[in-house]
Every structure is written in structure tokens, then in C-alpha cells.
Structure 1
Amino acid sequence: MAAEPVPQEARRLAKLLNEKNPALQIPDDYIDTHIHFEGGDLPVQPGCLKSGALCAAAFAAFGAVANQVAQDRYGGEPSHVTINTDHAGYFLGLPALVKAEKPPVDWQRGAWEKEMDRAATKIYPTKDGRWFQLHGDIDCHALFRDIGLEYNMEASREEAYEIVKKWTLLHTADELEAMMVKFGHSGSKCYEPEEWLATDMGKALENKPLINIEQVNKANGPVPYPPANKKRILEGIKVVEMVRIIAGPTIGRTLAELGAQVIKVNPPHLRDINILQYTLTTGTHTVSLDARQPDQKAQLESLIAEADVFIDGFRPGSLERLGFGKERVMQLAGPKGIIYIDENAYGVEGPYRHRPGWQQIADTASGCAVVQGRSLGAEGAVLPPLPISDLVTGVLGAVTVLCGIRDRARHGGNYFGVACLTAYDMFCISKQVGQYPPELVQQVERVFGFGPMAPKDDVPDLLGKVIQAWYNNRPKDMDFDGKLFVSFEDGPFGQSKQLAPVARIDNYPSGWDHPPRPYGYDKPTFDY
């Protein structure tokens, strides 16, 4: 059966997303009458996963719930939302689609300088003929120490991969998984989708909605929206995010498109990825606070007391140990209540809820990597190209926040929401979403020429292949002065250009109030 063009498929998936997530409260006819999908017929990513169409559907939900907030707040006619599905597909390469005059500030501090750094986070064959995703986190020293491999050796890309491969071939996939659990590291066997669904963790996540939010208590009744001079949808809404890398910051960045005031907190002793400063701080202010220090903890508590939204993107339990768990944050928020979002790999229930995890772990645990590799004709599991689950989970996290803001204004209370990487991946390969047929996968490869992809390709490898294919085959779309991009003429990085907001809401144009900035750039205050 021929696949539907991407815009039509995105509409179907938007309806499916609405059906599966009652918290959205999108009227049945709104998607047909007020959401317009446009774009080319073909996906812009390799493989069988419907990532671009799902991303477009997520942005449609974002626009629809933003419209609900706007109507509650300002009245008037409902907005029409336009989603370009090609634009949504390119959004999945967001971190690499940027130009800036000045270099980022160094927050990596030596991470990923050696090929052994890169080798710590790749897919490897195992003794029993399976595949396993190792993950060295941001600092792979601890992983190599615990598994008994030398870290500081000099090696080429191929040599480094072979060194780690020789070690993984000594162990079965289950032995490697048990080892990672024992030592507290990320890592996952590359499961088949049905195999994952049969696990206790898969069962715990299977029926969880992607827009997963609940009222914790009613507090003091409905909370009015703050005064607004510019009539922006989230004007005056204050957000504190304690997040790292991609998924968590994407939540705040997406809320900032609608005018929210977002403060991103980077602890000064923790590394982050340099290039992400160009895109994932857009529209936000960034501060450096160490919650282990009493005076800085007090500053953070003061910010949270003002906030309407708090986003936790750290390892499970980390912020609670620092005094910023759900109960404490809600206590700090007082009678106005707060929306607390827990962004994580495995959700908040089930046997792996306390395990650390990253996008690659979600991709391999859920079965996405096995399915992707098979569709590409690879020898084993292959990560979906681009930081897909990170970015789409971030958008869905922003939708979850919007639901909480809407409901707090209507009913009052505190709200607890979950944005889960593995839950998104499971939905992506569910039977109701489906996969692109082999003939379409082959057609897309003929059009774009992405080239072969293999288990040893990590996220930067895959990202580079896809971005280069876009430059080669979609030069008009990749014009940084074109309609899909936005330019900031004067900021901490000088002139910078990046992708414009994907969701176009006709009555309330999206856009960021501030250019991107380095981590830890601003003072810890909402008075800006």
C-alpha cells in the first residue's frame, strides 16, 4: 500500500495523538478546520520511522493548546495553526542548523576530545549475537574505569571502536545490562519492539499517555493570568528549568516562542555540550547556580517561588536530594501553585524509573534502533538519525506545560507532568502509528542520498550525514536567509541564524524575545 504524503499523515497522527491524550482537550473538528499541514510528499529523514510527521503532529498539538490558553486569556476567535511538515522534519536537526559569528563558551571542559570519548557511546555486538548501546554520559571516565578499559589511550576512530567491541563481545547483552545497572550507568540492550513490551518496564509505559499530567491538589482555586502588555500567549509566565543537553531545554525554548520568561540554570561544576548554546538557549536567560552552596540555593528557591513552571531534567532523584523535589518545589510556589515537569528516560513508574538514561537509551530500549537498522538494510541496530526523541519529547513536554497552565487558570492547583523519551519512542513504533514501507524508504534514499548507516555511527555521525544531504538536495530550504530561518543581529554570539518557530499561530505570531546566549550568562532574576 502506498504511503500517504507527509502532510496527510501528519494530520492523521495529530488526530491519533489527540485521541490517545485526553489532557489535550482539542475539539474533534479543530484539527480539520483550524490546523493546516503543508509541505512535500516525502519524509526528509532516512528509514521507516515517521519522525517528521510525528514532530509535525506534536507541533500541531502545541498550537492547538496554545490557542486554548489564548482564548481563555484574551477571548476572540480561535486561531488557525499552520505546520510545514518539511520544516518540522528539519527541526529534528536543530542543533546543527545554525550559524553564529562568535564561538560558544566552553562548558565541555575536555569531554569528547579523544576518540575513546566517542567510542563510549555507540552500539556494539555482544557475545550472544545481540547489540548493546553503551553510553559514557558526558564524562566517560567512570564507565571505562568500572568496566576495566583504559581511557587515556590514543586511538583512531576505528581503533577505538574495535577496542570497546572486543570487550563487549566477551559478554551477553543481558550481562552488559546487569553490569550497567550495578554500576549506575546508562546502557541498554537493543530490544525488538515486542520484546521490550514484554518487559516489566515496557508494560509500565505501554499505556501511559504522552501528555501525562495530573492535578496534585486544588490549592486556592483558579489562578488568574498575569498582566500582559504585548498580548502574547504566555506573556508573564515564568519558567525555571534545571535541565541539560537537549530534551529539557527544548521544553523551555518552545515555551519562550510564546513569550514565556524562561531561566535556564546550569550548575557551574557540570558539563554541557557547547554547540547547544546556539539554539537551546534561544529566548531564555541563563544563570549559573550551585544548589550545594547555601547562598546560591537560596537564590534558586527565590526564583522558584516566583515561577509558574519548573522543569526537572536531571538524573532521577538528583534534584530531590538537593532539596528541589516535587513536594518542596510546590511548597515554595505557595498558593498560586506550579506546574512541575519531570523529563526523563523511563518515566516515573516501573523498575527502571530510577535509572539514568539518554535519547540513545530510549531509542535502543524501545526497539526503534532495531527497526531503523532493519529498514536501512544495516548489519544491526542503528540509531534513528538526529536527536529525534530528545526534540519531539521536548515539544511534547511544552504541550504538557500548556495543559497545566490552562488548567491551573481554570481550576487552580499544582500540576505534575512527565515527559518521557522512551514513551515517545514506543508511540513512534506502535502499530497505530505504523512505519513507512520499504519502497518509500528506498525512494527517499534515492532522492537524498544519505548514504549507509551502521551500528558504529553515533548521533554526530548520523546528524552530519543527514544535514549534508539536506544541503545537497534542499539548498533553498537550507538558505539561512530564507523563510524557514530567523536571524538575531546583535547578541552574545554576534549575528546568529537558526530555524524559525515551526508552529505558526495566525492571531499570535511566535517568536523569541531574546537571542541565544552562553550558559551562565545572566543574573538570577526575572526582572529583565
Structure 2
Amino acid sequence: MDNTVRTGTELLWSALGGDPVLLDRVAYGGPSGLLPARLPVMDLARATVAVAGLAAVERAGLPGPVRVDDGAVATAFVSERHLRVDGRAPVNFAPLSRFWRAADGWVRTHANYPHHKAALLAALKAPDSVEAVAAAIGERKAVEIETAVYGAGGLAVALRTPEEWAAHEQGREVAARPLLTRETLDGAAPPRRAGRPLRVLDLTRVIAGPVATRTLALLGADVLRIDPPGNPELPDQHADTDIGKRTAALDLDSPSDRRAFGELLDAADVLVTGYRPGALDRLDLHRPGLVTARLSAWGDYGPWRERRGFDSLVQVATGIAAVEGSRSGGEEAPEQQPGALPAQALDHGTGYLLAAAVLRSLTEQDRDGGTRLVRLALAQTGHWLTHTLPRYEPERHLTETDGPLGRLRHALSPVAYEGGPAGWSRPPGIAGADTPEWLPLRA
């Protein structure tokens, strides 16, 4: 097993407060070479799925092993692409959700939801067409577009390099904080849940939160998802991520629906939210003995704490799209072409990590009691992927040798064993210059 695979799982399990002895219960396998990227996306996927499974067997008191099959993991991380509804392929991105060339760089927008699309068009003062939006964006600077669209309630992010994100105020806030936080808010007594399934109230949308609650439903939880009646989930997102759950509509600005929601919350064991920090403060969601898991795009700190965000936009802001992109235009005038991860890996990875955090909180709560709060953010997962998870670095496997051809930079041999040679005994010489004879026998 590649040590980087176990390293990622160890790092996450430690962040979750898990017993390191349990790590030996994870078994890895399956086909290799999946989810290829410059960043260690497959290692992120394996590790997040591994800790979700490990937290599940720990809570269930089962011996394991937890099987992490690369084929299953890679397929699940692009589950929305494999979905078919009566043979119809899903619509994952609307026409106006894409990269656009701005006057000084690139911008990515997200306009899958009708209200986000309307805000984008209003900010750009453009009609509803790809050509019109391209023209409007092309006339303005990327950060100017970002500011204007967010100001109108839409979503647009300028492409930044990792260095630019590190210098950005929100980037500095993300870098200064841990991958996730786990808090015990009070000394509430351990709950009594015997004889009924775990009750999970789901207030999440799109991928990360729904993947977490989909996982909890798989493990036997009674998951009830609540959406506003006038703003349901996109049909294909619902079909992919609401499997195993029940869904209902409540208008939380209506007194009667608010009372119904409060009664549901009073009897819940877990609350999972995926709205912007502060967006649900009016609802008074605190309940003694509840496990609350809060998910956001940028984190509940820094100047972007109240901004909306999705995986594709977090990739663009944090430098991931620049790392996964390419350069064109030649050496005289290189131009950065943005790229993307092979999956919405920040969403899916954060979803499995969120499920693991909930399960670990429940396990600790059953033993020690307490009202629990866990917080995760897509930007934090992105930072973990780019700065903490071990990356493949070709330079570690290269060396330099002086010889007749000059200084040669070349790859080390992958054939290595204890007591074996560290490298070749001689560098390459001038082609054809050696005497055609065998070396003399050593005395």
C-alpha cells in the first residue's frame, strides 16, 4: 500500500479525534490510476471515504475491515455524472455556469439555480445568452466582475493563483485555521436513543451536505430534508443525493411552518446545515444534546464568510484551477488556461468527512454527553488538498550526475531494495566511443 494513502487517512482520523489503533481496520484496493490530477485527488477521496467507514464501524461496534475500493470511490466521487433518470443523462452545469475570459484574466460563474442566473444577468446588464454574457464579461476586469455579481446576489469568482490566494485576506484566514473544528458546548447528559433510528434533520443543498446525509441514511438514520417550498433542489441533484432520505417543504417565515420545524428539531439527534454562516440565525437552532454540523463554502470567518459558494468556484479562488490548468501562447506571452479537478472533489470529500465528524461526535456523545458542534468548509478542504496531503513530487525521484555529456539530470531507478545499489555505476558516455570489448575481470 502506498504510504501516502494511509497518511491521508491518519491525518483525517487524528483531526476527528479517533483512536489511531483503529486505523489497521482499513483495507485498500481496487484499480489504480483513477481521478488523475496534478493534485492528490484520489488520495483525498480514499481518505475521506476511509474515515467515514471507520467512524461507522466504530459507532456500530463492528470489527471491520473497512473496505476502500478505488473503483467504488472514484465512481462515487462523480456520482452526479453517472446518474440516469429513465435513461436521461443529468444536467450538471447550466450554459451560464462556466469559465469566461475577462479583460485581464478569467472568471467562473455559477448560474444553475434560477435566482443565481437572474442575479448574474442583472449585474452584467446582459440578456440571457452565452454570447451576450461573454461580451459583457470580456469588457471588464475579473475582480470587478466578481465584486459586481456577488453584490447583486449572484456567484462569480476571479481566477487566482495559489500565491494570489495565499496573499488574499480570506486565503490567510483559511490557512490559519484547522481543517475542521469539533466543540462540546455544554455538559448535557448522554442521550437516550435506544429502540429507534437516528433522527437527522437535513438543511443542506447541492453536493457536500447531501452526500453527508446520504451516507448517514445508508447507515440507517431517518434523514428528513427540508427545503423552502418555492425553491426546491434541482431535480437531478435531488435524484442523485437524496437517495435513502425523506424530503419535505416548509416555509420557515410562516408561523405555522416554523412551529412544525421547531417540533422536528426538538426531537432530532443531528442537524446538518449548508447555508451561509448567519443565514439561519433567526431560527434559534440550539437544542441541548443536539449534534449540529455546519458546512459552508468559505468558512464562518474572514471577509468572505457571508458569501455563497460552490466547489467549482472554490477551486477557482484558491488556486486549484490554476494548478490544474495549462499555459499557452508561447514563451513570449504565456497565458494561463484554467482547469478543474476530475471530480467535484471538495464537495464529495467534505461530504464524507462531514459524515465521519457527525458519527464520531455521536460516539463521543453517547459516552460523555454534551451538545456538540462541528464545522467544515469547502475552502478548508481545498487548503488541506493543496498544502497538507502529501503530493507526488517528481523532484524527489530525480538526481544529477556529471559525466562526458556534462551535467545530466535524470530519474532514479524505481528498482530498489535493502542492500541494493543506490544508482548506476557510471554515467552515459559519448555514443559509440567505447572499445568493443568486455571489461576485464576484477582481481
> What is the TM-score of this pair, normalised by structure 2?
0.80
Structure 1 position 25, deviation (Å): 1.9
> Aligned match of 1:190 in 154, 159, 181?
159
Aligned residues: 388
Q: Which amino acid aligns with 2:294?
A: D
Q: Does the 8 A contact of 1:346 with 1:423 survive in 2?
A: yes
Q: Does the 8 A contact of 1:210 with 1:424 survive in 2?
A: yes
State whether structure 2 residue 291 is matched by structure 1 residue 339. yes
Q: Does the 8 A contact of 1:24 with 1:61 survive in 2?
A: no
> What is the TM-score of this pair, normalised by structure 1?
0.68
State whether structure 2 residue 365 is matched by structure 1 residue 408. yes
SS of the equivalent of 1:429 reads helix
SS of the equivalent of 1:58 reads helix
Structure 1 position 338, deviation (Å): 0.6
Q: Which amino acid aligns with 1:16?
A: L
> Aligned match of 2:324 in 344, 353, 372?
372
State whether structure 2 residue 123 is matched by structure 1 residue 138. no
Q: Does the 8 A contact of 2:290 with 2:371 survive in 1?
A: yes
Q: How does 1:52-451 map to 2 (within 5 A)?
A: 52-71=42-61, 78-101=63-86, 118-128=94-104, 130-136=105-111, 138-139=113-114, 140-151=117-128, 160=130, 162-219=131-188, 221-224=189-192, 226-228=193-195, 236-321=197-282, 323=283, 328-330=284-286, 333-334=287-288, 337-374=289-326, 380-430=337-387, 432-435=389-392
Whole-Å separation in 2 of the counterparts to 1:360 and 1:35: 30
Q: 1:341 to 1:41 in 2, by over 3 A?
A: same
Give identity over the alignment, percent.
24
Whole-Å separation in 2 of the counterparts to 1:340 and 1:251: 13
SS of the equivalent of 2:185 reads strand
Structure 1 position 208, deviation (Å): 2.8
Structure 1 position 296, deviation (Å): 1.5
Whole-Å separation in 1 of the counterparts to 2:223 and 2:326: 41
4+ residue runs of structure 1 moved beyond 6 angstroms? 375-378
Structure 1 position 181, deviation (Å): 3.9
1:30 corresponds to which residue?
22
SS of the equivalent of 1:343 reads strand
C-alpha distance after superposition, 1:402-452 (max 9, x if no partner): 1221222122221221121111112112254325769xxxxxxxxxxxxxx
Q: Which amino acid aligns with 1:96?
A: R
Whole-Å separation in 1 of the counterparts to 2:94 and 2:226: 26
Q: Does the 8 A contact of 2:299 with 2:376 survive in 1?
A: yes
1:10 corresponds to which residue?
5
Q: Which amino acid aligns with 1:428?
A: L
2:420 corresponds to which residue?
none
Q: Does the 8 A contact of 1:217 with 1:413 survive in 2?
A: yes
Whole-Å separation in 1 of the counterparts to 2:148 and 2:254: 34
Whole-Å separation in 1 of the counterparts to 2:369 and 2:18: 17
Structure 1 position 381, deviation (Å): 0.9
Q: Which amino acid aligns with 1:150?
A: P
Q: 1:437 to 1:380 in 2, by over 3 A?
A: farther
Q: What are structure 1's unaligned runs of at least 5 residues? A: 72-76, 154-159, 229-234, 439-528
Whole-Å separation in 1 of the counterparts to 2:259 and 2:18: 38
Q: Does the 8 A contact of 2:122 with 2:152 survive in 1?
A: no
Q: Does the 8 A contact of 1:370 with 1:380 survive in 2?
A: yes
Q: What are structure 2's unaligned runs of at least 5 residues? A: 330-334, 396-443
Q: Does the 8 A contact of 1:345 with 1:361 survive in 2?
A: no
Whole-Å separation in 2 of the counterparts to 1:120 and 1:70: 45
Q: Does the 8 A contact of 1:316 with 1:356 survive in 2?
A: no
Superposed CA RMSD in Å reads 2.8
Q: 1:400 to 1:207 in 2, by over 3 A?
A: farther
State the structure with more CA Rg. 2
Whole-Å separation in 2 of the counterparts to 1:146 and 1:247: 28
Structure 1 position 70, deviation (Å): 2.4
Structure 1 position 346, deviation (Å): 0.5
Whole-Å separation in 2 of the counterparts to 1:288 and 1:302: 15
Whole-Å separation in 1 of the counterparts to 2:385 and 2:376: 15
Q: Which amino acid aligns with 2:230?
A: H
Structure 1 position 222, deviation (Å): 2.5
Structure 1 position 102, deviation (Å): 9.0
Q: 1:211 to 1:422 in 2, by over 3 A?
A: same
C-alpha distance after superposition, 1:433-490 (max 9, x if no partner): 325769xxxxxxxxxxxxxxxxxxxxxxxxxxxxxxxxxxxxxxxxxxxxxxxxxxxx
Q: Does the 8 A contact of 2:32 with 2:70 survive in 1?
A: no
Q: 1:126 to 1:436 in 2, by over 3 A?
A: farther
